[in-house]
């Protein structure tokens, strides 16, 4: 069975890869033998994290602001240059959140979140599509893995309107892209995480009421997230596209 989950040598681009869920995924791919490029807005942090991961395997980092078109183009160009025009796996993970009461929710809070969570995801996919097409084959499709959220599946308790709307849109876009790209041997799937440790969720991690609301009574781990991403990038998922995998301890399936 081991070769089914083998990702050694695959070229993997991960946005938002310097912390949280992105770092969990990046670490998993590096340890599994993939060549990984992580991108993050804070260049110094991204390069430091990449240097640490490079002690485990093949990883480089690039600091880039994906909320602007120039940043998307720069990352696409860097990826093309690094891997001679080929990309096996694109993980669209970079994200932002904003919480504000409905009555005062600001345009800035809407635009910031939607621009990074949805707009940059679409245009980075567009710009790297030729690289994915160059690597894709019927026997081993290229992969796009979009990081959505359980908040895009069911309404959250907190007033993060632009976040939940953007993540629901990511799920719809995942299915649309999957249908459009399936003939070109590119599989497109989404992961919808529940509670995982990150900067966004640090205030929730010690809240017993939050954990009690999860059927498995715990937050997700790095192993939970990396394992799902590696499955979606490996031969084991060759026949899987247009799907949303909720990695949430049972919140959406059993709630």
Give the number of other CB atoms < 10 A from CB of residue 44. Answer: 11
Q: How many CB atoms lie within 10 A of CB 41?
A: 18
Nearest to 246 by CA among 197, 190, 201, 164: 190
Q: Confidence band (pLDDT; 50, 70, 90) for 242?
A: very high
Strands 35-40, 244-247: pairing kind: unpaired
| Residue pair 143/216 in contact by the 8 Å Cβ criterion | no
Q: Residue 206 corresponds to which tokens in the numbers above?
A: 């010690």
Query: What would the two tokens of residue 189 be?
Result: 């799937």
Average pLDDT over residues 91-112: 97
State mean pLDDT over 52-62. Answer: 98
Task: Tell me the domains of the chain and their CATH numbers.
Answer: 2-246 (3.40.50.720)
Token representation of residue 143: 């992969």
Task: For residue 202, name the pLDDT band (cuts at 50, 70, 90).
Answer: low
DSSP 88: S
What is the reported pTM? Answer: 0.96
- Mean pLDDT, residues 151-169: 96
When pLDDT is cut at 50, 70 and 90, the band that residue 204 belongs to is: low
Give the rounded distance of the alpha carbon of 121 from its chain centre: 9
Is the per-residue pLDDT at 207 higher than 90? Answer: no
pLDDT at 168: 98
CA 23, CA 53: separation in Å to the nearest integer?
10
Q: Which of 101, 93, 105, 70 is nearest to 12 (CA)?
A: 93
Mean pLDDT of 215-242: 97
Catalytic residues: 163
Residue with tokens 């019927």: 138
Mean pLDDT for the chain overall: 95
């Amino acid at each position: 069975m081991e070769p089914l989950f083998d990702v050694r040598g695959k070229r993997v681009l991960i946005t938002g890869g310097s912390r949280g869920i992105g770092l969990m995924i990046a670490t998993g791919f590096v340890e599994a033998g993939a060549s990984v490029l992580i991108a993050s807005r804070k260049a110094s942090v991204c390069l430091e994290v990449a240097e640490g991961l490079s002690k485990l395997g093949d990883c480089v980092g690039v600091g880039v602001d994906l909320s602007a078109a120039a940043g998307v183009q720069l990352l696409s160009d860097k990826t093309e240059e690094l891997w001679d025009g080929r990309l096996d796996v694109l993980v669209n993970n970079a994200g932002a959140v904003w919480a504000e009461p409905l009555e005062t929710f600001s345009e800035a809070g809407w635009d910031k979140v939607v621009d990074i969570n949805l707009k940059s995801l679409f245009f980075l996919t567009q710009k790297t599509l030729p690289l994915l097409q160059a690597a894709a084959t019927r026997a081993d499709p290229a992969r796009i893995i979009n990081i959505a959220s359980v908040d895009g599946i069911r309404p959250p308790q907190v007033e993060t309107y632009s976040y939940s709307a953007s993540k629901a849109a990511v799920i719809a876009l995942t299915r649309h892209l999957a249908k459009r790209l399936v003939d070109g041997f590119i599989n497109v799937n989404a992961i919808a995480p529940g509670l995982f440790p990150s900067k966004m969720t640090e205030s929730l991690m010690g809240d017993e009421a939050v954990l009690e609301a999860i059927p498995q009574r715990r937050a997700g781990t790095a192993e939970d997230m990396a394992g799902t991403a590696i499955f979606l990038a490996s031969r084991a998922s060759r026949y899987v596209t247009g799907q949303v995998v909720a990695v949430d301890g049972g919140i959406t399936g059993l709630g």
